């Protein structure tokens, strides 16, 4: 069982930056691939970014949605049981509720489908004004 709690959301202006955090409970955090998804009002929950589980060499694989490539960066700190999403050059279309998710499968390449993530946080609101 993994519990996820997101934080760091807020209201910012276009061009600003935010860093989201997702704190995970449990001793097996390093064995989970972690992902970020977002959902705007009236829209589907879309993939944002993902990072692979920890291996012995601690080199992680990452994946990004097309709309955030070059602006967002996902990272993890296994000692703190936390995954981060650094969001730069924010745009009004980035406005959404951002969800953290955990995938217990030992994938070398992290998944991009919602269906592959088993545990979910409650979400944190990010609002970007123009």
DSSP string across 92-126: GGG-EEEEEEEE-S--SS---SGGG--EE---EEE
Give the pLDDT confidence score for residue 55 in this predicted structure: 64
Q: Strands 10-13 and 33-39: what pairing?
A: unpaired
The span from the CA of 123 to the CA of 130, in Å, is 23
Give the pLDDT confidence score for residue 57 in this predicted structure: 56
Considering only 50-54, 70-74, 100-104, 125-129, which range has the smallest mean pLDDT? Answer: 50-54
């Amino acid at each position: 069982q993994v519990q996820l709690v997101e934080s760091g959301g807020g209201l910012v202006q276009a061009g600003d930056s935010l860093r989201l955090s997702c704190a995970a409970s449990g001793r097996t955090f390093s064995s989970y691939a972690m992902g970020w998804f977002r959902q705007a009002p009236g829209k589907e929950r879309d993939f944002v970014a993902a990072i692979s589980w920890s291996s012995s060499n601690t080199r992680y694989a990452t994946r990004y949605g097309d709309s955030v490539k070059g602006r967002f960066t996902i990272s993890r700190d296994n000692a703190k049981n936390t995954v981060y999403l650094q969001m730069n050059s924010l745009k009004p279309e980035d406005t959404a509720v951002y969800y953290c998710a955990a995938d217990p499968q030992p994938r070398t390449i992290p998944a991009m489908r919602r269906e592959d993530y088993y545990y979910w946080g409650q979400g944190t609101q990010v609002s970007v004004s123009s």
